[in-house]
C-alpha cells in the first residue's frame, strides 16, 4: 500500500480539533483510550472502515467496536434495553463494550459489523477520546491500533512502531491507564461474556444481579475477533514458568527476580496496565519469553486470556 506521512498530534484543543477534521474527511486517526490506543475511522463511511482493515492487515470477518461520546449517541444506532441502561449507568464511560441489535436507520457501515445484525458500542473514559468523540459527534470504529496479530499499543510510540506510514495521524495522550482492551458483554440474548477485559466480569455480574453466560473457549461465531494467536510477540512465549530457562527473558508477577515485573506488589490492576508495554519491551530483546503465573480472578482472567493468546501457536 501507499506510504503516507503520519502526523503526531499533541492532545490539546488544536490537536483534537485537527483529529476530528481528519475523521470527517474519511482519514484514519489513532487516539488514546483508557484501555489501549484505538485506530479510528468514521463508522458510517465504508471507505474509511475499509482503510482500517487495510492499515491493520486484519481479516475482514472481524467486526469492530463503534465508539461514541455517551449513551444517547449509542442509542442512535442500537436497540436499547433495560440491561444496557443499568450497565451503561454503572460503567460508562469506561472499559465496557455492549453488543446490541442494530436499529433501523442505524447508518453504520456493514464493514463495521461484518454483516452481523448487532453492533458493539462503547463510551471510552479517556478525556482525549471523549473530547474527540464529542467534537466529531458521530460513531468512530476503532480496533486496537496495532497491525493484526501483534501486541496491542498502550503508548503513541507503540502505535507509530506498528502503523507509521499507514495512517494520517496519532493523537498522543500518554500511556493508557487500564492497559487491557474492554470487557465485551453481549446483550442481544442472555447476557454473555464475549471477551474478558479491563472491567472484571464479577463487577458486571453484581450490577446485573446474576452470572454472565461464558462463551465456550475457541467456539462460537459471536466472538469472531477471538483469533487464538493474537497479541503475539515475535519470539516463543512459555506460560506458568517458575524461572527463566536457557536464554529466555522472564516476565514476573509479585515479589521475584525477573527481567520485567507486571506488579512487584502483586496488584492485578497495575499488572493489566503494564502488560502490553512489558511484552513490547521483552519482544524487543528478540529472546523467548517465560511468564510467571498470574492469579486467575478479577482482572487476572483477562490478563491470562491475553497471555494464552500470546503463547498460542502462530500461522506465520
Ligand atoms: O478496549 C477496546 O475495546 C479497544 C479500544 C480501542 O476501544 N478496542 C478493541 O477493538 O479491542 P478490537 O477490534 O481489537 O476488538 C473488537 C472485538 C473483537 O473481538 C470483535 O470480534 C468483537 O469486538 N465484536 C465487535 N463487534 C461484535 C459483534 N457485533 N458481536 C460480537 N463481537 C463483536
Ligand atoms: Mg485488537
Cβ of 226 closer than 6 Å to ligand 1, yes or no, is yes
Q: Do 149 and 294 belong to one domain?
A: no
Top mutation candidate among 144, 180, 197 for ligand 1, by most atoms within 8 Å of CB = 144
Q: Alpha helix locations (H) across 26-75?
A: 46-56, 71-74
Domain hosting residue 208, numbered range? 7-214
Q: Whose CA is nearest to atom 7 of ligand 1?
A: 38
Q: Residue 316 has what pLDDT? A: 45
Q: Collapsing DSSP states into helix, strand and coil, what is residue 166?
A: coil
pLDDT of residue 222: 46
Residue 219, pLDDT score: 43
The verdict on 181 and 248 lying in the same domain is no
How would you classify the pairing of strands 183-186 and 192-195?
antiparallel
**Any domain includes 49:** yes
**Domain assignment present for 228:** no
Q: What confidence score (pLDDT) does residue 1 get?
A: 59
99/12 same-domain check = yes
Sole residue written with cell 468523540: 133
Question: Do 176 and 262 share a domain, yes or no?
Answer: no
Has the ipTM of the complex gone over 0.85?
yes
4: its cell numbers: 503516507
Spans of the chain, pLDDT less than 70: 1-2, 216-230, 315-316
Count structural domains, the chain: 2
One domain, residues 172 and 45: yes
For ligand 1, say whether the CB of 192 is within 6 Å of any of its atoms: no
Residue 234 assigned ligand-binding role: no
Q: Could you give the 3-state DSSP secondary structure of residue 182?
A: coil
pTM of this prediction exceeds 0.90: yes
- 176 and 283 belong to one structural domain: no
Amino acid at each position: 500500500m501507499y506510504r503516507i506521512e503520519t502526523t503526531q498530534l499533541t492532545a490539546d484543543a488544536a490537536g483534537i480539533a485537527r483529529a476530528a477534521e481528519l475523521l470527517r474527511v474519511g482519514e484514519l486517526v489513532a487516539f488514546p483510550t483508557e484501555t489501549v490506543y484505538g485506530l479510528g475511522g468514521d463508522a458510517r463511511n465504508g471507505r474509511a472502515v475499509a482503510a482500517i482493515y487495510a492499515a491493520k492487515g486484519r481479516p475482514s470477518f472481524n467486526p469492530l467496536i463503534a465508539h461514541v461520546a455517551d449513551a444517547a449517541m449509542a442509542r442512535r444506532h442500537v436497540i436499547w434495553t433495560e440491561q444496557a441502561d443499568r450497565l451503561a449507568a454503572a460503567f460508562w464511560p469506561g472499559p465496557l463494550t455492549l453488543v446490541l441489535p442494530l436499529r433501523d436507520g442505524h447508518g453504520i457501515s456493514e464493514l463495521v459489523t461484518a454483516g452481523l445484525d448487532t453492533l458493539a458500542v462503547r463510551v471510552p473514559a479517556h478525556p482525549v477520546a471523549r473530547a474527540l468523540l464529542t467534537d466529531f459527534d458521530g460513531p468512530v470504529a476503532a480496533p486496537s491500533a496495532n497491525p493484526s496479530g501483534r501486541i496491542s499499543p498502550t503508548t503513541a510510540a507503540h502505535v507509530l512502531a506498528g502503523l507509521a506510514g499507514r495512517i494520517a495521524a496519532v493523537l498522543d495522550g500518554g500511556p493508557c491507564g487500564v492497559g487491557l482492551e474492554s470487557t465485551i458483554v453481549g446483550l442481544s440474548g442472555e447476557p454473555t461474556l464475549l471477551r474478558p477485559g479491563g472491567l472484571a466480569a464479577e463487577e458486571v455480574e453484581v450490577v446485573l444481579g446474576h452470572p454472565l453466560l461464558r462463551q465456550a473457549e475457541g467456539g462460537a461465531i459471536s466472538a469472531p475477533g477471538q483469533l487464538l494467536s493474537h497479541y503475539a510477540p515475535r519470539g516463543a512465549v512459555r506460560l506458568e514458568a517458575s524461572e527463566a530457562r536457557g536464554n529466555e527473558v522472564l516476565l514476573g508477577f509479585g515479589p521475584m527476580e525477573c527481567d520485567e515485573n507486571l506488579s512487584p506488589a502483586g496488584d492485578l490492576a497495575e499488572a493489566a496496565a503494564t502488560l502490553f508495554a512489558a511484552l513490547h519491551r521483552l519482544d524487543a530483546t528478540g529472546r523467548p519469553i517465560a511468564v510467571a503465573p498470574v492469579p486467575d480472578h478479577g482482572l487476572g482472567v483477562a490478563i491470562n486470556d491475553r497471555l494464552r493468546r500470546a503463547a498460542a501457536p502462530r500461522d506465520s
